[in-house]
Amino acid sequence: MAATYTTIQGETWDQIAYKVYGGEEYAAFLMANNYPFLDILVFSAGTVLNTPGLPEDEDGELPPWRLGAEDDEDGDEPDPYDDFNDEDEAEDDE
């Protein structure tokens, strides 16, 4: 069963994303799943939009460029361009 949302007069994409997904940042996801309505900026009452569940991160981890210092184990800001890690250093010491 597909989830849907029926618009109220005067709503916009970001308002609907906030109501459905809890954040305006999901407006692009909502729009991508409702391609036929992309030309509408302000909805009239009664438009039925598809509102699929948000995709989850497959491994539950953020990519390196999305990590904050609080997410890094040692508290340092990770360098997404650093291909050298502690395991490589241990191998070089041997």
- pLDDT tens across 61-74, in order? 666 666 665 545 55
10 Å CB burial of residue 30 (0-12, 13-18, 19+) is buried
4: β partners: 50
pLDDT tens by residue, 34-43: 999 999 999 9
For the residues 24-49, what does the mean pLDDT come to?
96
The helix/strand/coil state of 50 is strand
Q: Please state, rounded to an integer, the average pLDDT across all residues of the chain.
A: 79
The DSSP bridge partners found for residue 6 are 48
Grouping H, G, I as helix, E, B as strand and the rest as coil, residue 56 is: coil
Once rounded to an integer, what is the mean pLDDT over residues 9-27? 95
Helix or strand run (H / E) with residue 48: strand 48-50
The reported pLDDT for the residue numbered 90 is 57
pLDDT at 56: 74
